[in-house]
Amino acid sequence: MSKNPEFVKFDKVDKSYDGKVLVVKDLQLDIAEGEFITMLGPSGSGKTTCLMMLAGFETPTNGEILLDGNIISNIPPHKRGIGMVFQNYALFPHMTVYENLAFPLRVRKVEKDEIDKKVDKALSMVSLNGFESRMPAQLSGGQQQRVAVARALVFDPAVVLMDEPLGALDKNLRESMQYEIKHIHESIGVTVVYVTHDQSEALTMSNRIAVFNDGKVQQLSDPAELYEKPVNSFVAEFIGENNTFNGEVVDIDKDKCKVKLSNSEILANPISVKSKGEKTTVSLRPERALINPTDKMDNMFTGKIEEVIYHGDHTRVRLNLLGSSEFILKVPNSTSNLELKVSEDINIGWNSADARALDPK
């Protein structure tokens, strides 16, 4: 079976609730069959609206949504065959776990034996066998969450939507559930569209991530590329930690540019700058800057340590560097650790390829 690269397709979709503001602007997004795609963005960025349009609870103002080549804009939610996991689980409180899972099968008039089999299979998938006769209120948050996942999968939908399903769980449970959902996805190969505002969740689970801001997809790429090669300063800021320098391009060639800061110059990788005189924001990941660089790096500066914070696996060092006192360094806590003392001067270096000159903030 060849995978359809356009299994779900948003084709020039606009959405406005009040006719004045577009919540989603000209969205063009293809989701491949069996893919785990995450819509990531701050609240109000339009990601949940996209999910609701796909589920059928909202209609696009403009454009079409296609599922496996068919336009579904006019199909009511119950005929779309899309499973959904809601933020607050939305388990039916008056039904047992079994009845909750059997609901989508019963409305499809599945035979009783078949229902039993499928419910059993779905429950074993989330390792909740034996909980059939419990009421949702008798389950813990994580268990309810797993029941919700099982219920969204039990009728073998082509696509499963998840709307911040882990938002209500505590940190440890959230992390273990992330892996669990990822493994379920891998084992049954269903297409998952996942909405979250938690970037680490998105990076952990997804095949691809669509970063939403202001009703638009800012970047659509796999987690590594998203983190390593953000295409604009919003993505660079939103995903992971980031050191930024605001300045002006004074010299540019193919893969290097010189950016003039308030009182110094740095070399950077020109991503979204084209010519001299452009304003730019240079973004550098904290772990890409090294203390006392041994090999020749093309950016070498000296900064004063302002603050040292111990984080267990690494130490965060805040430096006063190039006129900014917000420069962050992440130093792994290895055995050959350096003595870092506040108000000492240290040498810092990084490669210009890691310093991405993006659009100005």
| Residue 87 interacts with another protein (CB under 8 A): yes or no | yes
CB 151, min distance to another protein, A: 7
Q: Which long-range contacts (CB under 8 A, 24 or more apart) does 15-22 make?
A: 15/46, 15/49, 15/50, 15/53, 15/58, 15/60, 15/61, 15/62, 15/215, 16/61, 22/61, 22/215
| Residue 19 interacts with another protein (CB under 8 A): yes or no | no
Interatomic CA distance for residues 70 and 158, integer angstroms: 13
Considering only 32, 66, 75, 90, the residue that binds another protein (CB under 8 A) is 90
| Residue 17 interacts with another protein (CB under 8 A): yes or no | no
Burial class, 310, CB count within 10 angstroms (exposed 0-12 / middle 13-18 / buried 19+): exposed
Considering only 69, 93, 277, 312, the residue that binds another protein (CB under 8 A) is 93
| Residue 112 interacts with another protein (CB under 8 A): yes or no | no
| Residue 103 interacts with another protein (CB under 8 A): yes or no | yes
Count of residues interacting with another protein (CB under 8 A): 28
CB 47, min distance to another protein, A: 17
CB 180, min distance to another protein, A: 20
CB 274, min distance to another protein, A: 46
Amino acid, res. 52: M
Considering only 3, 17, 21, 57, the residue that binds another protein (CB under 8 A) is 57
CB 36, min distance to another protein, A: 19
Residues recorded for the chain: 361
Determine the interface stretch with another protein among 38-46, 101-109, 120-128, 288-296 (rule: CB under 8 A). 101-109
CB 19, min distance to another protein, A: 16
Residues 6 or more apart whose CB falls under 8 angstroms from that of 113 comprise none
CB 60, min distance to another protein, A: 17
Task: Mark residues 122-161: x for contact with another protein by CB under 8 A, - for none.
Answer: -----------------------------xx--x-----x
CB 28, min distance to another protein, A: 25
Considering only 8, 55, 231, 305, the residue that binds another protein (CB under 8 A) is 55
* Of residues 49 and 233, the one with the C-beta less far from another protein: 49
| Residue 86 interacts with another protein (CB under 8 A): yes or no | yes
| Residue 94 interacts with another protein (CB under 8 A): yes or no | yes
Interatomic CA distance for residues 63 and 334, integer angstroms: 54
| Residue 76 interacts with another protein (CB under 8 A): yes or no | yes
Distance of CA 117 to the CA centre of its chain: 35
Q: Where are the alpha helices (DSSP H) in the chain?
A: 47-55, 97-106, 112-125, 141-153, 171-188, 199-205, 223-228, 233-238
Interatomic CA distance for residues 329 and 187, integer angstroms: 39
Interatomic CA distance for residues 24 and 48, integer angstroms: 10
Q: CA of 326: how far to CAs of 147, 320, 356, in Å?
A: 45, 7, 18
CB–CB of 358/274 below 8 Å? Answer: no
| Residue 286 interacts with another protein (CB under 8 A): yes or no | no
Distance of CA 27 to the CA centre of its chain: 17
Site for another protein in 158-197 (CB under 8 A): 161
| Residue 65 interacts with another protein (CB under 8 A): yes or no | no
Binding site for another protein (CB under 8 A): 55-57, 76-84, 86-88, 90-94, 103-104, 107-108, 151-152, 155, 161
